[in-house]
Amino acid sequence: MPTQRKTLLTRFLIWRLKHISHKQFVFIVSILVGFMAGIGAVIIKNLTHFIQTLLEGKLVKDYHAAFYFIFPIIGFTIVYLYIKYVLRNKVNHGIPSTLFAISKKKGIMKRFQMFGSLIAAPITVGFGGSVGLEGPTVATGAAFSSNLSRFLHLNQATRTLLIGCAAAGAMASIFKAPIAAIIFAVEVFSLDLTLASLIPLLLASVSAIITSYFFFGNDILLPFSIEDSFELKDIPFYIILGIVAGFVSIYFTEMYERIQKLFDKIASPIKRLIIGGLGIGILIYFIPPLYGEGFDIMNNLVQGNPEAALQNNFLHLDLSNSWTVIGLLGGLVFFKVIATSLTFGAGGVGGIFAPTLFMGSIMGYTVAKILNQLGLSFNISESNFTLVGMTGVMAGVLHAPLTAIFLIAEVTGGYELFIPLMITAAISFSITKYFHPHSVYTMELGRKGELITHNKDHAVLTLMDIQSVVEQNFISINPEMTLGDIVHKAVVKSNRNIFPVVHPETNTLEGIILLDDLRPVMFDQSLYTEVTARDVMQNPLEIIDLEKDKMTDVMKKFQDSGAWNLPVVSQNCYFGFVSKSKLLTAYRRKLIDFSGK
């Protein structure tokens, strides 16, 4: 049977090469990828809602407040058992894991990633995990497109493009915002926006959004129509909103990173599950709006109905007092990122897209409410500030200002708020970027120098594997070896003009000898027994560390030193050499692959 399947695939690929051009085939596959990303979004969303409906049914309805405490830890336990005994592979955060696959795995994602998040994310969110479903949906679609590309023997550049198509399809299906979805794929995954990549992204986005309409109809996550028009006199207030959004984004990034580091120090997954589960359970028990994604809360705020979002406050405070509402909303902003981080720390599977929208909407509404309570002559549109606040925090936390702008513009069905969206996003992004050069998605990859960026030179170097350019056909020399032995045992037998001087016992690199260093003495036989390798060796201009140095570091060392060959060490032991000529040849080849030409 496998042989027959392989034969059929081979015959299909041969037929395809004869009758369909590569460009046309990519168009067809991108439509399929978009459709499957849409199906993934439908499954994840419906499964989550099914679990939430089940938990909020008549069986526990009368005791629901108490169950807020226990639901999350039950969900995390199910996810832990599913990952440990069913998947038997770790399920990483959706978008960061996809970025890692692009940058370090040539866009190759394992098969289990196609259904890992598909099951784990709905359980996490359905049982109260305070995270989103967008990241898992993107990861599911990306894993499908990666494995489909490998099945169809498509190259790395095409594979990366189709992963971007899956991301665009997932976002288009979730938010019914096809343009923002394309921008998201380009902005977050650092795709080259050319005509060759734009058409597949468009096809995938349209395919996914049609799939979404087929299953969900006209329902959208954030139904809203703009009633308060933008006026020039509001610009100073949107500048204030942008500044506040920037500092809220910094708070989100800092708190998220610190809590993740604390959980990383806990070796036992059971301990992480208990600590994180109890933490999120306590938070949700006292602050029910932190349960799940929180889109109901956002819609209540957009519609100017904060009382519906806060009616379950455990202090039973009077919501007719505006300052009470402001205080409770400020608490939601403060605790949401903590709840999200605890969910991830406990082993939950989800994304941070929805939490940024949640915090941004509440932050925007709160800023507008405070300005309106100052008793001055102006009146701020609280619904508009709610939407624009989402843009500000999303632009800051995700470092995706264009995605944030176009997402809210499309969700609102028009561009009346385009100017305030641009102002707020630009200010928030600039402030956050100053303090945090990498987004929450890319922090770890960025610190390691493994992040693909829109800088093509940097992107190509990131994709290159340093071991692929290391040469090892060099004859090593003992530091105590005499000149005569060097000439007869190394120079005569080698076709290279450089020799590493290596300690015979520890294999550490002690220096290098160039053929130019030997020429003044190698023909004087009277020195053959007097001069040793230690006498003529020199320190290398730079040394490349195989474990620590990235390709960008290697290229910089060549540039700064002016050398044509540099030695490579691994764990302080001599490993080989990298030549500038081979490095540049490999770079040119990778550039061609990256550009898809």
Q: pLDDT at position 114, please?
A: 87
Copy the structure tokens of residue 454: 């829109």
What does the CA dihedral 355, 426, 225, 204 come to, rounded to 10 degrees?
A: -70
Residue type, position 115, single letter: F
* Band of residue 597 on the pLDDT scale cut at 50, 70, 90: very low
185-218 burial: b if 16+ Cβ within 10 Å, else e: bbbbbbbbeeeebeebbbbbbbbbbbbbeeebee
Beta-carbon contacts of residue 105 (< 8 Å; ≥ 6 apart): none
**What confidence tier does 463 reach under pLDDT thresholds 50, 70, 90?**
low
| 469 Cβ neighbours under 8 A, 6+ residues apart | 578, 579, 582, 583, 586
Q: Please give the mean pLDDT across all residues of the chain.
A: 83
pLDDT in tens, 302-314: 777 777 667 666 6
The stretch 199-222 carries a mean pLDDT of 86
What is the sign of the dihedral through the CA atoms of 283, 346, 333 and 309?
negative
Q: How many helices (H) and strands (E) does the chain have?
A: 26, 6
Q: Which domains does the chain have, with CATH numbers?
A: 2-216 (1.10.3080.10), 232-451 (1.10.3080.10), 459-595 (3.10.580.10)
pLDDT at 454: 46
Least trusted range by pLDDT, from 48-62, 83-97, 116-130, 387-401: 48-62
* Residue 207 pLDDT exceeds 70: yes
Asked if 449 and 553 touch (Cβ cutoff 8 Å), the reply is: yes
* Residues 440 and 253: beta-carbon distance below 8 Å: yes
Three-state DSSP string of 269-284? HHHHHHHHHHHHHHHH
Q: Token digits for 389?
A: 């606040």
pTM of the model: 0.77
pLDDT score of 252:
94
User: What is the full DSSP assignment across 232-257?
Assistant: GGGHHHHHHHHHHHHHHHHHHHHHHH
C-alpha distances out from residue 263 to 123, 279, 282, 481, Å? 21, 12, 18, 53
Angle at 121 between CA 116 and CA 122, to 5 degrees: 120
Contact criterion met (CB below 8 Å) for 539 and 529: no
What pLDDT is recorded for position 200? 92
Q: What does the alpha-carbon distance between residue 545 and residue 531 come to, in Å, rounded to a whole number?
A: 30
Residue 5 pLDDT greater than 80, yes or no: no
Per-residue pLDDT of 86-125, as tens digits, reads 888 888 777 877 877 777 777 788 888 888 888 999 999 9
Q: Which two tokens stand for residue 198?
A: 């734009």
Instruction: Give the residue, 376 or 154, on which the prediction is more confident.
Output: 154
Asked if 71 and 128 touch (Cβ cutoff 8 Å), the reply is yes
Residue 80's closest CA among 45, 109, 120, 137?
Answer: 120
User: In sequence order, what are the beta bridge partners of 470?
Assistant: 578
- The whole-angstrom separation of Cα 351 and Cα 137 is 9
Contacts for 424 with CB less than 8 Å, ≥ 6 apart: 238, 241, 242, 245, 388, 389, 391, 392, 395
Greatest alpha-carbon pair distance for the chain in Å reads 102
Query: Residue 26 carries which side chain, given as an amino acid letter?
Result: V
pLDDT band (50, 70, 90) for residue 460: low
Supply the DSSP string of 434-482, one letter for each residue.
HH-SS-TTTHHHHHHT----S-HHHHHHHHS-GGGGEE-----B-TT-B
The CA dihedral of 457, 463, 467, 473, to the nearest 10 degrees, is: -50
Return the structure tokens found at 556: 């910089």
Output 576 or 193, whichever has higher pLDDT: 576
User: CA 496, 502, 507, 509 torsion: positive or negative?
Assistant: negative
Give the type of residue at 128. Answer: G
What would the pLDDT profile of 548-567 be if each residue is shown by its tens digit?
A: 887 778 888 888 888 888 89
Q: What is the pLDDT of residue 70?
A: 84
Q: Exposed, middle or buried: residue 255 (CB in 10 Å: 0-12, 13-18, 19+)? A: middle
pLDDT at site 455: 47
Which pLDDT score is estimated for 286?
83
CA distances in angstroms from 517 to 101, 224, 264, 498, 523, listed in the order given = 45, 76, 51, 10, 12
Can you give the C-alpha Rg of the chain in angstroms? 29
Lowest mean pLDDT among 246-260, 374-388, 442-456, 548-562: 442-456
Q: What percent of the chain has pLDDT over 70?
A: 87
Q: Do 367 and 374 form a contact (C-beta atoms < 8 A)?
A: no
How much of the chain, in percent, has pLDDT values that exceed 90?
Answer: 27
Backbone angles phi, psi at 303, to 5 degrees: -85, 5
pLDDT, position 462: 59
Q: How far is CA 462 from CA 192, 259, 469, in A?
A: 15, 28, 14
Per-residue model confidence as pLDDT tens digits over 142-195: 999 999 998 888 888 888 889 999 999 999 998 888 899 999 888 887 776 676
Residue 572, amino acid: N
- More confident position, 428 or 1: 428
315-344 per-position pLDDT tens digit: 666 667 778 888 888 888 999 999 999 999
Taking 90 as the threshold, does the pLDDT of residue 395 lie above it? yes
DSSP code per residue over 144-196: HHHHHHHHTT--HHHHHHHHHHHHHHHHHHHHS-HHHHHHHHHHHHT---SHH
pLDDT at 392 > cutoff 90: yes
DSSP 303: T
Burial (Cβ within 10 Å: 0-12, 13-18, ≥19) of residue 460:
buried
